[in-house]
Amino acid sequence: MVAALTWAKPGMESARPAMEEHGRQAQRLKEALLAAVDRDTEAFNQVIASRRLPKATPDDAARRSAALESANQGAALVPLQVLEASVEALRLAQSVARDGNPNSVSDAGVAGACALAAAEGASLNVRINLPGLTDHAIAQDYEARRQLALRHARELALEVAHAVDAVLDATARSG
């Protein structure tokens, strides 16, 4: 929204190309995150279905174990991807807070706060699913990605908040 309001504001013509691109990126992120809701549900359903597989024979147990590992990887991967997408959303919020329409900077702040909440929640969902992985290399990769993305999310959220505060403080001083 901030990108669109910036694009249309007289006097902000120099920001239009960047804001137009930010708007497109935000729309793609929104679509990806909405699709992740369904993918997360499907991943959970796969975990449940895998747990219900028979394990009476060694072959049954092996099939069940493989299915459960695959399902658990999916259950961890979907929120990891949401966490990483949240970092991208925070980068966009940071840019529009800094360079966007100052009259809508509070919306950039709200976007940053929401993206941080999404990142924190997704991180928790990755963490709860990691102990179920038996492929330790994948578990370690997911954990490293989770830690890196969460650190970036928290840093960017602070930068968004500082940018919003700076614009609001400047507006208050000039008003």
> Considering the chain, what is the average pLDDT of its residues?
93
Q: In this structure, which CATH number among 1.20.120.680, 3.40.920.10, 3.30.230.70, 2.60.40.1260 belongs to the domain 2-174?
A: 1.20.120.680
Taking the C-alpha atoms of residue 23 and residue 26, their distance in angstroms, rounded to an integer, is 5
What pTM value is reported for the model?
0.91
Q: Which tokens go with 112?
A: 């940053």
More confident residue, 6 or 147: 147
25-50 average pLDDT score: 96
Instruction: Specify whether the CB–CB gap between 5 and 68 falls below 8 A.
Output: no
Contacts with 23 (C-beta within 8 Å, 6 or more apart), sequence order: 3, 4, 7
Q: Which amino acid is residue 123, in one-letter code? A: S
Residue-level pLDDT at 173: 85
List the domain boundaries for the chain: 2-174
Angle between helices 136-174 and 105-129 (to 10 degrees): 160
pLDDT digits (tens, 9 = 90+) for 60-106: 999 999 999 999 999 999 999 999 999 999 999 999 999 988 999 99
